[in-house]
Amino acid sequence: MSQKETPLFSGLVEHAKKNPVQFHIPGHKKGSGIDPEFRKFIGDNALSIDLINIGPLDDLHSPKGIIKQAQELAAEAFGADHTFFSVQGTSGAIMTMIMAVCGPGDKIIVPRNVHKSVMSAIVFSGAIPIFIHPEIDEKLGISHGITTDAVEKALEQHPDAKGVLVINPTYFGVSADLRKIVEIAHSFQVPVLVDEAHGVHIHFHDELPLSAMQAGADMAATSVHKLGGSMTQSSILNIKEGLVSPKRVQSIISMLTTTSTSYLLLASLDVARRRLVTEGKELIGETIRLAQSIRERINKIEHLYCVGPEILGRKATFDYDPTKLIISIKDLGITGYEAEKWLRETYNIEVELSDLYNLLCIITPGDTEQEGDVLIKALQDLSSVFHTESEKLHAQVVLPDIPLLALTPRDAFYADTEVVPFAESEGRIIAEFVMVYPPGIPIFIPGEIITEENLRYIQMNIEAGLPVQGPEDDQLKMIRVIKEHKAIR
Ligand SMILES: Cc1ncc(COP(=O)(O)O)c(C=O)c1O
Average pLDDT per run of 10 along the chain, which is 489 residues long?
98 97 96 98 97 96 98 98 98 98 97 90 95 87 91 98 97 96 98 98 98 98 98 98 97 98 98 98 98 98 96 94 97 92 98 93 97 98 82 56 90 94 94 76 89 90 81 89 85
Ligand 1 atom nearest to 226, measured from its CA:
10
pLDDT of 215: 98
Residues 30/47, Cβ–Cβ less than 8 Å: yes
Range 146-149 contact pairs with CB under 8 angstroms and sequence separation of 24 or more: 146/111, 146/176, 146/181, 146/316, 147/176, 147/315, 147/316, 148/176, 148/177, 148/180, 148/181, 148/184, 148/315, 149/315
pLDDT of 440: 59
User: Ligand 1: which of 120, 171, 223, 236 to mutate, judged by most atoms within 8 Å of the beta carbon?
Assistant: 223
Ligand 1 center to 436 CA (angstroms)? 13
- Rounded Cα distance between 326 and 319, Å, is 15
Ligand 1, CB within 6 Å, residue ranges: 89-91, 94, 115, 117, 167, 171, 195, 197, 223, 235, 438-440
Ligand 1 center to 196 CA (angstroms)? 9
pTM of the predicted model, to two decimals?
0.94
pLDDT of 486: 77
Torsion of CA 166, 168, 173, 176, to 10 degrees: 80
Ligand 1 atom nearest to 221, measured from its CA:
4
Instruction: Provide DSSP, 363-420.
Output: --TT--HHHHHHHHHHHHHHHHHHHHHS----PPP--PPPPPB-S-HHHHHTS-EEEE
C-alpha angle 170/172/175, rounded to 5°?
45
- Count of helices and strands (H, E) across the chain: 15, 20
Q: Is 197 strand, coil or helix?
A: coil
- Rounded Cα distance between 167 and 188, Å, is 20
Ligand 1 atom nearest to 235, measured from its CA:
10
Residues 162/102, Cβ–Cβ less than 8 Å: yes
Instruction: Provide DSSP, 9-47.
Output: HHHHHHHHHT-PPP-SSSTTTTTTTS-HHHHHHH-HHHH
**What are the start-end ranges of the E strands in 22-173?**
82-86, 107-111, 128-132, 136-137, 142-143, 164-167
Name the pairing type of β-strands 128-132 and 107-111: parallel
- Rounded Cα distance between 244 and 93, Å, is 14
Q: What is the largest CA-CA distance in the chain?
A: 79
- Rounded Cα distance between 266 and 245, Å, is 23
The dihedrals phi and psi of 451, each to the nearest 5 degrees, come to: -115, 160
H helical segments located in 228-262:
246-255
Ligand 1 atom nearest to 167, measured from its CA:
1
The interaxial angle of helices 246-255 and 89-101, nearest 10 deg, is 130
